[in-house]
Amino acid sequence: MGRRILVVDDDESVCCTIKLILSQDQHEVTTTTSSQEGFSLYQAGQYDLVITEYRLARWRGDALATAIRRLKPNQRILMMTGYAEYLPKAGDLSGVVDHIMSKPFDLQEFRDTICRLTTTAASDVKGQIAA
């Protein structure tokens, strides 16, 4: 069963690639390259999962995730980054995101993570952060 997924990444090619992958898996995907637009889209819609890059212009991904969690504390959020060295310690993000994935990512690991995050209650995935 397809899920509604919001993807926020400042690299348009990453947005397109993720949308292609997730669309093949029957998910309905909305993408944006702006954290502020991502927050506006989130406020206007209902999403089963939010995927955000950590290093975004204006708001970083953790700030976006925090703002989203203020609106909906149980929202499932996957953070992706090609800059793992810039991330705070994983424990610092445990209440903000459900999972951290490094880019580039393994396609099967990505699909497995999406499946787990969209089929498991948000409270059940806490503490499963892996960088």
pLDDT of the residue at 114: 95
pLDDT of the residue at 57: 81
The answer as to whether 47 is a domain residue is: yes
The answer as to whether 108 is a domain residue is: yes
The answer as to whether 68 is a domain residue is: yes
pLDDT of the residue at 88: 60
The answer as to whether 37 is a domain residue is: yes
The answer as to whether 130 is a domain residue is: no
98 exposure class (CB count in 10 Å sphere: 0-12, 13-18, 19+): buried
pLDDT of the residue at 122: 44
- List, in order, residues 6 or more apart from 129 with CB less than 8 Å away: 90, 91, 93, 94, 97, 98, 99, 100
- Number of folded domains that form the chain: 1
What domain range is 9 assigned to? 4-125
Each residue of 69-92: pLDDT tens digit? 999 999 999 999 887 666 665 456
Q: What is the pTM of this model?
A: 0.86
The answer as to whether 99 is a domain residue is: yes
CATH number of the domain enclosing 20:
3.40.50.2300
- Within 13 Å and on the Cβ side, how many CA atoms surround 1? 4
Low-confidence stretches of the chain (pLDDT beneath 70): 1, 84-94, 120-131
- List, in order, residues 6 or more apart from 43 with CB less than 8 Å away: 71
pLDDT of the residue at 1: 66
